[in-house]
Amino acid sequence: MSSVKKELFAVIARAGKALGHPHRLELLELLAQGPRPVEALARALGASVATTSHHLQQLRQAGLAVGEKRGKQVVYRLSGEDVAALLIQLRSVAEAHLAEVQALVRDHLEARDALEPVPADVLLERARTGEVLVLDVRPPEEYAAGHLPGAVNVPLEELEARLAELPEDREVVAYCRGPHCVLAFEAVARLREAGRQARRLEGGLPEWRRAGLPVEAGEPVSDANRMGDGQTVERP
């Protein structure tokens, strides 16, 4: 092997090494939802700011993330959409070839919801015709950074208290950060327990983006969540 190829592989291996920690994979999933300050990432990760900053530095040095100073905060984002695609592909390969991943998905996720999730293109058409209500159960800051067109944002922890805000005459399709995100599984379970028709989206926002489907950003006017029939629901 030539010295140049060896050097290339050594540099490329830095990206592979950066992917070799569960905290860093989770940070990439969070950043795939949109840019976030270090402090917000630490809260979402359930780790200290120091630990989170260390992992973010590893991602930055590997060329997978970019940190920008905004006032007193450092805000991180993915270095490109191809990084989100890499994470999606890594997850797909692991699920296809690692028995441990297959068992975890089967025993902890599919056991909660055996119904086939709704494909993205099918959901887009059904949402356009008003057949379904698209429910985003991620935190508000992730929703504001980017969400499915017309989606209503009800974070999972608010779902039971705000159930009456959701129309009863339409099926609800919930989504969150990706196909293995427990927020959507939990939301669907709670909706069904309340007697609502509910299913999951196949994938999450990163998969939706990768398919080239439209994405909206920003909070609804007057801090309200839009309903598919043109109504709005004010946040309590």
User: Is residue 209 predicted with pLDDT exceeding 80?
Assistant: yes
Segment 185-214 shows an average pLDDT of 95
Give catalytic residue positions: 176
C-beta separation of 115 from 68 below 8 A: no
Please state the three-class secondary structure of 171-236 as a single string: EEEEECCCCCCHHHHHHHHHHHHCCCCEEEECCCHHHHHHCCCCCECCCCHHHEEECCCCCEEECC
Q: Where are the domains of the chain?
A: 3-83, 108-234
**Res. 220 pLDDT band, cuts 50 70 90:** low
Mean pLDDT over 163-173 rounds to 93
Q: Is the pLDDT of residue 233 over 80?
A: no
The percentage of residues in the chain with a pLDDT greater than 90, rounded to a whole number, is 84
* Phi, psi (degrees; rounded to nearest 5) at 70: -130, 100
pLDDT of 65 > 70? The answer is: yes
Domain range 108-234, CATH architecture: 3-Layer(aba) Sandwich (3.40)
**Of the candidate ranges 98-112, 136-150, 184-198, 207-221, the one whose mean pLDDT is the lowest:** 207-221
Q: Which pLDDT tens digit goes with each residue over 182-195?
A: 999 999 999 999 99
The token duo for 219 is 């909070």
Same fold, 3-83 and 108-234: no
Structure tokens at 27: 């940070």
CATH number of 3-83: 1.10.10.10
Could you read off the pLDDT of 13-37 as tens digits, one per residue?
999 999 999 999 999 999 999 999 9
Strands lying side by side in the sheet with 73-78: 36-37, 73-78, 65-70
